Amino acid sequence: MPLQTDFIVIGSGIAGLRASIELARTGAEVTVLTKSKASDSNTEWAQGGVAVVLSDDDNAELHEGDTLEAGAGLCDERAVETLVAEGTRYIKQLIEWGTEFDREGGNLVFTREAAHSRRRILHAHGDSTGKEIVRALIARARQESTINLLPFANTEGLIVRDGRCVGVRYADPILKAPREIFARAVILCTGGAGQLYLHSTNPPGATGDGIAMAYFAGAEIADMEFVQFHPTALNLENAPRFLLSEAMRGEGGILRNAQGYRFMGDYDDRLELAPRDIVSRSIVREMRKTGTRTVFLDMTDKDEAFLKRRFPQIAETCAHYGLDITKNLLPVSPASHYCMGGVRTDLWGRTTIPGLYAAGEVTCTGVHGANRLASNSLLEGLVFGARAGAAAAGEAREAAIPTSSSDDTPGNLNARISTAVRKRVKRGMWEWVGIMRDEGSLTRALSEFEQIEKARLSIGSRNFVTLALLVTRAALWRQESRGGHFRSDYPEPSEKWRVHSIQESGREISSDDRISFGEGG
Phi-psi label, residue 152: left if phi above 0, alpha if psi -120 to 50, beta otherwise: left
Helix (H, G, I), strand (E, B) or coil at 82: helix
Helix (H, G, I), strand (E, B) or coil at 103: strand
Active-site residue (options: 184, 276, 344, 387): 276
* CB contact at 8 A, 337 and 201: yes
Phi-psi label, residue 350: left if phi above 0, alpha if psi -120 to 50, beta otherwise: beta
The candidate with the shortest Cα–Cα distance to 484, out of 264, 334, 265, is 334
Beta strands at 221-222 and 30-33: parallel, antiparallel or unpaired: unpaired
The candidate with the shortest Cα–Cα distance to 482, out of 471, 495, 472, 470, is 495
Q: DSSP characters for 395-423?
A: HSTTPPPP-S--TT--SS---PPPHHHHH
Q: At what angle do helices 60-70 and 77-96 cross, to 10 degrees?
A: 120
The amino acid sitting at 378 is L
β-sheet bridge partners, residue 158? 168
* CB contact at 8 A, 356 and 108: no
Beta strands at 7-10 and 185-188: parallel, antiparallel or unpaired: parallel
Helices (H), 49-203: 60-70, 77-96, 129-141
User: For 297, phi and psi rounded to 5 degrees?
Assistant: -100, 125
Beta strands at 227-234 and 3-4: parallel, antiparallel or unpaired: unpaired
> Is 309 marked active-site?
no
Q: How far apart are the first and last CA of the chain?
A: 34
Residue 243 DSSP one-character state? B
Residue 22 DSSP one-character state? H
Query: Sign of torsion, CA 4 5 7 10?
Result: negative
The candidate with the shortest Cα–Cα distance to 472, out of 431, 423, 517, 519, is 431
Residues taking part in catalysis:
276
